[in-house]
Amino acid sequence: MKKVYAIFSGLFIAGTAICQNFNVQPLMKKHITSAPEAQAKGISSTPTAKAIIWSEDFANGIPAGWSNNGTPTAAMWEYRGPATTPNTSVGGQGGCSGGDPIQSPSVANGFVIFDSNYLDDPGGTCAGALGSGVAPSPHTGILQTDAIDLSANTAVLLSFYRYARNFAASMTVNVSVDGGTTWTEVWASTLAANAASPFDEQIKVNISAVAGGQSDVRLQFDFDGDYYEWAVDDIVIEEPPANDMDIIDANVDGVWAAFELEYTESPLAQASANPLNFEGAIQNAGANNQTNTTFDVTVTRGGNTVFTGSSAPITLNSGVQDTLMTSTTYTPDTTGTYDFTFSGSADSATTNSQITKQLTVGDSVYSRDTDNWAGGFFMIAETCGGSEIGHAFDIYADQEATSISAFIVAAASVPGAIVQGKIYQSDLATVVAETDFYALDAADLGTLLTIPLLTPTTLLASDTTYIAVIGSFQSASDTVAIGSSGTVPPQTSFLLDVDDCNGQGAGTWFFVTGAPMVRLNFSKCAGFSVSTVKTDEDSTGASNGTATATATGGASPFTYVWNDANNQTTATATGLVSGPYIVTVTDGIGCVATSSIQIWITGIDDKNPLTSMAIYPNPNKGQFYIEFKNTVDDYFINAINVLGQTVYSKEIAVNGSYIKQIDLTHLEAGTYFITVSNADGERRTERIVIE
């Protein structure tokens, strides 16, 4: 998307320039993770092209007429074939690589790879021998074809399969039409740090504007920078189909808060206050311009479609990629799993693939990782020092945070190591809540550990964004690693280098783009309450009193049950006679709140204030109300237990109609007598039961 691409494009150009209120820097190599964070993409199907003009599947290795150059000299692309060592069953050989090869259609007969991790560090463990390889990084490797004659073809489409994992490198494809003197970039990878492509990703680029009709066309595959690997196979130049569209990327994000982040899990209180935007990048790889092109989304929950949306239509010219946004938003309104399916359509074509994403809306968990740990991790306790790592979370509705969770990687964590969770304001300096120090137990390893906050803390929508982290301390033996799953945009997830492991100074913040498995948890029901207002009964027997309940906080939808004779189930109960009433309100995640109110008879109940005084609810849990009707006086309220002891006293001034809340929750359950009196000797006593 335009927004996401803009952030990505600044990752290595201006690492500190894009962040809102964050003083962070690009992630240092010390914190490369041990396994890739793959980007999931929908299954694609490719239309039949008119004709293949030129192709290379590396069945016979790197062709003799190609050039393979590196800086330093040993930074070369490598051929993997069925008879090479290693063979086609092995991808990146570096200790930080997963080792799996590209899954191109002709992988069995060979592919090429720039193995950056291995060229820098041939050791068997991740970051175990940085800079000890034959071509220490940063380095450049350029694989260049010989001349390709496209003079008879004005419309040409370049495609190739790739598997790539990035840390801090640019991976580009360039085209020359003058024998290699000048080059035009036609494609650039947008993988974030620690992100990986699918193993079978096909890239398609319409290069007609650059190479169409040219007799000396050369392709260049250029890796420049740091880590991890880039494998390429099945390069094809063909006449593009008349109609060929692809969806390149899609994004789901919020509307109102600071970062407009994408989440994999969200509490309903946040999701229901957060209208979702949908954006997608559509590419026209066909020969024809596509009219009325739209980006489309379908949202389902439990197999049922709950929303469809499309962008405003545009004309998408041949070879052009554009970013589109749906014209309407969608707001989740109940718990469940929401599936998003993205595609594109035009008058003459639909996209060859779909992208799918998922959001789970529950009652308490806020998460940005994919909950699919594949081996990646961040060290937060090691010999060089301790770290804190976590995510920014947008707050759309005030909600009480109660705990922080993190996935503890068993292979790199030790029982007895100490961890602690914290919540920062967006200045990354002010701690608003923290957990106690927690010593890992053997049973915690390989699990999602949840640590409660010392004091549950309400996070405010007015502050827009908070950062939840898990941290540990310097130790040569009690190491701790936090799992990583999925990817996040730069400048939205962070690592605090407490003890200067990276040589940038103790207390330096870095951003990370592999998603740490750190989650923020909220109280299910905190802040949910209900209040009531009423109109009194006009006269005895009129039965025209009303009472209306209003919920504050909680998650929609709300259900209502009144304790009147008809057990009414609407927010407003009607046809009420004089007396006390209780409404029970249940929100969308099962939280329950109650409120009581007294209906009077106008002109009758206000003649004798103590006679018409009401005490409700009764029985109760220690909290109840005393309601006075149209009186002006000072009253003494006393609560007396069955032994005759006064356990509560309060003097109040009443001026008109007045409701006084009494809190006796500190008393034991049992029977008590509530006495209300004034200086004139008027007195009334009522028995209540505290359950």
Set out the domains of the chain in order of their start, with CATH numbers.
50-239 (2.60.120.200), 245-265+275-359 (2.60.40.10), 370-522 (2.60.120), 529-690 (2.60.40.3080)
List the one residue out of 92, 234, 106, 224 whose CA is nearest residue 160: 234
Tell me if 170 sits within 8 A of 187, measured CB to CB: no
Percent share of the chain, pLDDT over 90? 62
Coil vs helix vs strand at 5: helix
Output the pLDDT for position 5.
Answer: 23
**Tens-digit pLDDT profile for residues 207-255:** 999 999 999 999 999 999 999 999 999 999 999 988 989 998 899 987 6
Using pLDDT thresholds of 50, 70 and 90, give the confidence band for residue 50. low
- Assign 298 a pLDDT band (cuts: 50, 70, 90): very high
Average pLDDT, the chain: 87
Rounded to an integer, the average pLDDT of 180-201 is: 90
Confidence of residue 258 (pLDDT cuts 50, 70, 90): low
Read off φ and ψ for residue 396, nearest 5 degrees: -100, -20
pLDDT number for residue 235: 98
| pLDDT for the residue 3 | 26
Q: Reduce the DSSP state of residue 175 to 3 states and report it.
A: strand
Residue type, 146: D
CA distance 279 to 310: 10
Write down the pLDDT at residue 259: 60
Total-model pTM: 0.70
In which band, very low, low, confident or very high, does the pLDDT at 610 lie, cut at 50, 70 and 90? confident
The per-residue pLDDT for 208 is 94
- Give pLDDT tens digits for 458-468: 999 998 899 99
Residue 35 in this model has a pLDDT that exceeds 60: no
The DSSP H or E segment spanning 269 is: helix 268-271
pLDDT at 22: 34
Q: Is-contact 256 250, C-beta < 8 A?
A: no
> Highest mean pLDDT: which of 123-137, 219-233, 269-283, 537-551?
219-233
d(CA 364, CA 367): 10
pLDDT score recorded for residue 375? 80
28 has pLDDT over 70:
no
Lowest mean pLDDT among 115-124, 136-145, 428-437, 677-686: 677-686
- Strands 646-663 and 265-267 turn out to be unpaired
Please classify residue 218 by burial: count the beta carbons closer than 10 Å to its beta carbon, then call 0-12 exposed, 13-18 middle and 19+ buried.
Answer: buried
Whether the predicted pLDDT of 162 surpasses 50: yes
Distance CA 569, CA 583 (A): 9
pLDDT of 226 reads 93
Tens-place pLDDT, residues 304-359: 999 999 999 999 998 889 999 999 999 998 899 999 999 999 999 887 889 999 99
Pairing status of strand 480-487 against strand 514-516: antiparallel
At 609, the pLDDT band (50, 70, 90 cuts) reads low
How confident is the model at residue 16, as a pLDDT? Answer: 24
Predicted confidence band of residue 656 (pLDDT cuts 50, 70, 90): confident
Q: What mean pLDDT comes out for the span 594-606?
A: 72
Residue by residue, DSSP assigns 69-110 as EEESTT---EEE-TTSSS-TT----STTS--PPP--TTGGG-
Element (H, E) at 672: strand 670-677
Report for 12-26, 286-300, 498-512: range of highest mean pLDDT: 286-300
- Looking up tokens 């694989």 gives 143
CA–CA dist 574, 565 (Å, integer): 11
Element (H, E) at 117: helix 116-120
Query: How far apart, in whole angstroms, are the C-alpha atoms of residue 423 and residue 683?
Result: 53
Position 29 confidence tier, pLDDT thresholds 50, 70, 90? very low
pLDDT band at 183 (very low <50, low <70, confident <90, very high): very high
Question: For 451, how many CA atoms within 13 A lie in the half-sphere containing its CB?
Answer: 26
Mean pLDDT of 445-463: 95
Cross-strand partners of 663 = 623
Q: Give the Cα separation of 388 and 375 in Å (integer).
A: 19
Residue 680 clears pLDDT 50, i.e. is over it? yes
Per-residue confidence (pLDDT) for residue 655, from 0 to 100: 86
List the alpha helices (DSSP H) in 179-243. 208-211
Reference 392, options 503, 501, 253; nearest CA is: 253
